[in-house]
Structure 1
């Protein structure tokens, strides 16, 4: 063994182990931190949850929300949302929207001839006149709730008041699908029943006598006469002495029966405005048609009728009335019809002119098929103007 083995600075003096009784290093006796040895969170990723004493604090997880399926997943409104009450419009699945509107084949004129001459390969559609007639017919067919009452009157006789009542009622009945009736309220011997084929001798007096027993339309039909246009007429008494007794109460009772079975009731009033039934006629009317002829005295009488209505508290009825200038003669003479039309245009809602027609001059039963095309078109336009007031009907029936 070398002599200097245990010498200071020798091998034994350079041993790796120190004396246990010696003072330990300071880092050995330092207190352990409460959170353990600090470690970088990036080394192990974010902790799955927060637990006191483990890693840095993390945010609380969001509350659990169930998945959304169905239309709500695409943003569709749900029940309770304001948009749910008014959903967006969907594509119209009507026949016209899916297949397109097919052009109607011409029904008259040279267009129809060309359509068949070309073996139905050239279809120009209907002409302007046909389109206009169909437009007016669509206006006449406007829906109506309840019973609508139309009063036709004039102060002067011989202007065609009864003829206008019958032709207007026949036009409405032929175009529309509901029931239309005309009542003869003339205190004198009325001629309205002569405008349709007579089917029964019963009059309005018989209807009032049996009013309590009328429960169905077939019961009323026993007291009326019907023409080819489906217009029904309730005749007045043929005896003038009995007709005078037709009072306002009788007219109101008549309407109470008719309005249960008819959608339109036309009243052919007398030439006087002071007879007993006129007060009830005016109070129950929804529309007023004032008839005038193309003569000077006829226009003055019609204007005097409007003056009387204005003076007796019927201003609204005058403003909503329809004036009809009926040509009872082939020529109007020297009367300036433009000035007559302009006068009534300033006072009434509309003014219509009905041309002279030989069939109406006969004074017999009226057939719409025998009228001239111009006359039928004028009556159709009159019916469309009257139907324009259906929206403002004041009684639901």
Structure 2
């Protein structure tokens, strides 16, 4: 067989293997940006497209990266009652949540914890003695101090022998007179703390003189000087006023008060005396203070059921911003040091409601002395 006829011929001519273009150069098909020289500062960046501000409102907002947004808001386990036992008995599988009573209490606490700028001054007064005015001052102050993180102090401005200092453990024999004497040297909270006594609730009390002859000299100027010292270190100052509206310090108390609490008992004469207190304030240019005041109907003894409390509440609700009824409590009847833990749940709830109503006025404008 002829080798020339059976063996294929490969030549370098125009019809040879290389001329068939069966393979192409890979670099020829690359985009030009792939083969561009690398700049000294790194890879070339894509140009940022222009943003049309006209459709900014139509674009969805950025995802909120808060803990609640990313993890959800877990349902809190119940803290008391049959709901708690059901939750534990089911090995934490059945969670029916908190009861409406607990939810309301937490809402009141949140309201009482409302932030406060500067110092808020509260006057607690009544024309009639024996209605529990000092007790209301101490329990309200203790409630505020227990739920808030700032400093709360109660001042005994009674011209007679005041008993406010008996509501907390006595830590010092110092009184308001000693504070006035050393006022010029008080520069820090630790200085003023040596003149006050503090209870378990963190409420501090500045006592009055035990000698009525000396305390009568507590004048309007004296109260103003005491308040100027306390305003530098305390967020809330409660003043336990005397029963007489004409004594010398009362003018300064009313002139500098941001809030007013009028205390009445559940008796006929107690309600009439509290209403007469409001009448006196109206007649002496304190109409705005009366309208923004809070009336507290304090049950100093068990209810006999003979007084229609609905009508008493209705009377004061027409004159004041709010009315709170504080039920009778055996612990308060003792007249000794007050412990919030020993109060009945109904009493603690009423005091918490009073604290929340008082805190609702924190957002208002600060009242300037008149």
TM-score category, normalised to shorter length? 0.7 to 0.9
Gaps of 5+ in 1: 1-67, 78-82
Cα distance in structure 1, aligned partners of 2:202 and 2:64: 37
Correspondence 1:200 to 2:172:
yes
Cα distance in structure 1, aligned partners of 2:360 and 2:48: 48
Q: Which residue of 2 aligns with 1:181?
A: 153
Cα distance in structure 2, aligned partners of 1:268 and 1:336: 28
Cα distance in structure 2, aligned partners of 1:226 and 1:328: 25
Q: Which residue of 2 aligns with 1:51?
A: none
Q: Which residue of 2 aligns with 1:212?
A: 184
- Residue deviations 1:363-392 (CA, integer Å, cap 9, x gap): 000000000000000000000000000001
Correspondence 1:351 to 2:362:
no
Structure 2 counterpart SS, 1:265:
strand
Q: Which residue of 1 aligns with 2:14?
A: none
Correspondence 1:75 to 2:52:
yes
Cα distance in structure 2, aligned partners of 1:349 and 1:330: 26
Q: Which residue of 1 aligns with 2:343?
A: 371
1:138 CA displacement: 0.2
Cα distance in structure 1, aligned partners of 2:109 and 2:53: 43
Larger Rg: 1
Correspondence 1:191 to 2:163:
yes
Cα distance in structure 2, aligned partners of 1:97 and 1:352: 39
Q: Which of 57, 70, 93 is matched with 1:98 structurally?
A: 70
Correspondence 1:387 to 2:364:
no
Contact 1:294 1:332 in 2 (8 A): no
Contact 1:208 1:253 in 2 (8 A): yes
Structure 1 counterpart SS, 2:128:
coil
Q: Which residue of 2 aligns with 1:307?
A: 279
Q: Which residue of 1 aligns with 2:122?
A: 150
Q: Which of 100, 105, 121 is matched with 1:128 structurally?
A: 100
Structure 2 counterpart SS, 1:229:
coil
1:89 CA displacement: 5.7
1:278 CA displacement: 0.1
Correspondence 1:221 to 2:198:
no
Contact 1:147 1:395 in 2 (8 A): no
Contact 1:182 1:265 in 2 (8 A): yes
- Residue deviations 1:259-303 (CA, integer Å, cap 9, x gap): 000000000000000000000000000000000000000000000
Q: Which residue of 2 aligns with 1:295?
A: 267
Contact 2:196 2:205 in 1 (8 A): yes
1:395 CA displacement: 5.5
1:70 CA displacement: 4.3
- Residue deviations 1:4-55 (CA, integer Å, cap 9, x gap): xxxxxxxxxxxxxxxxxxxxxxxxxxxxxxxxxxxxxxxxxxxxxxxxxxxx
Contact 1:148 1:393 in 2 (8 A): no
Report the number of matched residues.
322
Q: Which residue of 1 aligns with 2:234?
A: 262
- Residue deviations 1:54-73 (CA, integer Å, cap 9, x gap): xxxxxxxxxxxxxx9647x1
Contact 2:295 2:322 in 1 (8 A): yes
Cα distance in structure 1, aligned partners of 2:268 and 2:352: 26
CA shift in 2, pair 1:300/1:88, >3 Å:
farther
CA shift in 2, pair 1:189/1:117, >3 Å:
same
- Residue deviations 1:148-181 (CA, integer Å, cap 9, x gap): 0000000000000000000000000000000000
Contact 2:257 2:367 in 1 (8 A): no
Q: Provide TM-score, normalisation by structure 2.
A: 0.84
Q: RMSD value over aligned CA atoms? A: 1.9
CA shift in 2, pair 1:159/1:74, >3 Å:
same
Q: Provide TM-score, normalisation by structure 1.
A: 0.79
